[in-house]
Amino acid sequence: MSQVHQPAGIRVFTDAEIAQVLSLTECISEVEKAFNLLAEGKVLDSNLMHLEAEEGEFHVKGGVMKYGKEEAYFGLKANGRFVHNQARYGLPNISGLIYLSDATKGQPLAVFDSAHITRVRTGAATAVAVKCLTLPDASRVTICGAGVQGKIQLGAITKVRPIEQAYYYDHRPEAAVEAAQAMQTQLGIEVTAIGRPELGTRESDIIVTCTPARQAYITREMIPDRAFVAAVGTDSPGKQELVPDLVANSHVVADLRSQVVQVGELQYQSPEKVGEILLGELHEFVSGRKQWPTTNVPLIFDSTGTAIQDIAAAVTVWRKTLNDDK
What CATH number is given to the structural domain containing 191?
3.40.50.720
DSSP for 239-300 reads ---B-HHHHHTSEEEES-HHHHHHHSGGGGS-HHHHHHHEEEEHHHHHTTSSPPPP-SS-EE
Regarding whether 112 and 153 lie in a shared domain, the answer is no
pLDDT tens-place string over residues 29-66: 999 999 999 999 999 999 999 999 999 999 999 999 99
Regarding whether 129 and 96 lie in a shared domain, the answer is no
Regarding whether 278 and 219 lie in a shared domain, the answer is yes
**Alpha carbon distance 103, 257 (integer Å):** 24
Regarding whether 233 and 170 lie in a shared domain, the answer is yes
Overall average pLDDT of the 95-118 stretch: 97
Residue 242: which of 280, 195, 299, 180 has the closest Cα?
Answer: 299
pLDDT tens-place string over residues 159-195: 999 999 999 999 999 999 999 999 999 999 999 999 9
Angle between helices 148-158 and 115-133 (to 10 degrees): 40
pLDDT tens-place string over residues 218-244: 999 999 999 999 999 999 999 999 999
Regarding whether 317 and 253 lie in a shared domain, the answer is no
Give me the amino acid identity at 105. K
Regarding whether 260 and 171 lie in a shared domain, the answer is yes
User: Is 188 within the bounds of a domain?
Assistant: yes
User: Is 4 within the bounds of a domain?
Assistant: no
pLDDT tens-place string over residues 238-269: 999 999 999 999 999 999 999 999 999 999 99
The domain total for the chain is 2
- Global pTM reads 0.94
Overall average pLDDT of the 81-86 stretch: 91
Overall average pLDDT of the 123-132 stretch: 98
Q: How far is CA 168 from the centre of its chain?
A: 18
Q: Which letter does DSSP use for residue 193 in this model?
A: E
**Alpha carbon distance 164, 179 (integer Å):** 16
CB 244 within 8 A of CB 67: no
pLDDT at 154 > cutoff 90: yes
Regarding whether 320 and 251 lie in a shared domain, the answer is no
Residue 70 belongs to domain spanning: 11-117+308-325
Confidence of residue 326 (pLDDT cuts 50, 70, 90): low
